[in-house]
Chains A and B, each alone.
Chain A
């Protein structure tokens, strides 16, 4: 795939009262990339993420998606254009079954119930939830709820998928298969942005990593560049021995 910019921000800024959560961020991601966004707690990762997803709108700066200005687009508009997201705290539609949850996502691109069911079924298979279709989602374990979030987002047939701490809280076995699943999603042509606390997971899956501290990007490069960056170590990683596998 050609390296073509799919989503970018220019000077994106968001303030909440006196706090500047996102400060003048220039960011861009090419089609097919997997970009990890790292940063300590309260760094503005989630705010930046919400800006991209259209859940909140920037005070200044612009956001461009597929060569279109989407600065003031709402989240359901962004979804229709091909950007899907998951939530940091999983939000299954509790009273609905797994299949129904994912079908709601599928309806973003179709009116037909039958087609929505087909799209949903294949998304459910892709994330490894096959066999759980008729289970009410409030009965799922955390790991499975996270998979459900991804399936629901995938069913909207996104060009780009934003994952907000989708791997935190998983046990090591779950984590490995989750990373495997995300790789196959990416291989299917979906560009990924991964906001994450788990440095090792981000390093494993990302082709590029951006580090945000106090609302600004302080590093942007390949995983090994970023992990060895002096600024990043000081601000975030601390004086630990990080080995890049």
Chain B
């Protein structure tokens, strides 16, 4: 058990100092630059793998705000992803509006939908939010077929390749790595900021026990709505970046339910609720799935999904807090041991 006579105020170091912040974000920028450099030097396959990892990490991290930090399981984040992808693509291809502006419009739309779906469902405890978000995503998928005049239906929308910064279209992979990596850093910075402030504490309280949180002054409805709005908006932004990278969208790749499942799986495996958990999940799982796809895609087309399932089951059974949970446990054990040795 914990030593109750240990009155040293060692709690202060759980809160980051400004210096530590600079170090963390400096490292993050450095890592993205290194990844961009690697993607310019290595094969196309490696470059593509790096960019997909960054894109998925950003989507899973955006999901994590409402699904992990606030504990409201969204099963419909393909909806937000698709809103972002279709908004910027339609604005760009039909009206020539720069995808950068489309990105902003998509983020606002995604946030708005995230807010609107929360208003009726966050009042109710239980799985209503999960089901409502799933319904949102699935109906947007169907609608994208119905309104084929705008969305291109099953044939999708190709985005013309006219490389320029203004068009958010690039000829080299490293440029996309910087785009996706930069966006990931913004998402992570927002997650870290939320976690370290009043809102983060309130969301954690709501996740653990909404009624008890209410009793100590947390407006749980408001906290959940903020989380749902930010998460929806940021997920939509990922959709735009994905569309500009692939330069083609269609219902399955932009609104398929597999997108939402991927976001949940990466978060769960990496460490749900932790700021860097989903990124860690993406770093481990996306390269694995890409390598399997490349090597066995022809002979065993669904093998990567099978292996995904196995990994998820193993993590759920052995490490319910994900990889990051294991790392934290080990590091706290080490620090406790070294503290105990010091005390002896």
Mark A residues whose CB is within 8 Å of B: 53, 55, 74-76, 79-80, 84-85, 87, 91-96, 99-100, 103-105, 107-111, 113, 116-117, 130-135, 139, 152-153, 155-156
Which chain B residues numbered 204 to 225 have a C-beta less than 8 Å away from chain A? 204-205, 207-209, 211-220
B342 at the interface (CB under 8 A from A): no
When chains A and B are docked, how far (Å) is the Cα of A95 from the Cα of B211? Answer: 15
Asked if A134 contacts B11 (CB within 8 A), the reply is yes
Classify the secondary structure of B's interface with A: helix
Q: Which of B1-9, B175-183, B279-287 contacts A (4 or more CB under 8 A)?
A: B1-9
B94 at the interface (CB under 8 A from A): no
CB neighbours (8 Å) of A104 from chain B are 201-202, 204-205, 213, 216, 218
Asked if B208 contacts A96 (CB within 8 A), the reply is yes
When chains A and B are docked, how far (Å) is the Cα of A111 from the Cα of B202? Answer: 11
A and B contact pairs by CB, cutoff 8 A, 7 listed: A91-B211, A104-B213, A107-B198, A109-B217, A134-B2, A134-B10, A156-B216
CB closest chain-A residue, reference B212: A91
When chains A and B are docked, how far (Å) is the Cα of A97 from the Cα of B209? Answer: 14
CB closest chain-B residue, reference A110: B198
Asked if B219 contacts A76 (CB within 8 A), the reply is yes
| A105-B11 contact in complex given A94-B208, A135-B2, C-beta closer than 8 Å | no
CB neighbours (8 Å) of B217 from chain A are 76, 79-80, 84, 105, 107-109, 156
Chain B: interface residue count, which band? 20 to 34
Q: Taking A95-B204, A131-B6, A134-B10 as given, write out 10 further A-B residue pairs in contact, using a Cβ cutoff of 8 Å, ordered by the A residue number.
A: A76-B215, A76-B219, A84-B215, A91-B212, A93-B213, A104-B204, A108-B217, A117-B11, A130-B7, A134-B14
Mark B residues whose CB is within 8 Å of A: 1-2, 4-7, 9-11, 14-15, 196-198, 201-202, 204-205, 207-209, 211-220
Asked if B196 contacts A113 (CB within 8 A), the reply is yes
Asked if A96 contacts B198 (CB within 8 A), the reply is no
CB closest chain-B residue, reference A87: B212
When chains A and B are docked, how far (Å) is the Cα of A234 from the Cα of B321? Answer: 55
When chains A and B are docked, how far (Å) is the Cα of A88 from the Cα of B211? Answer: 13
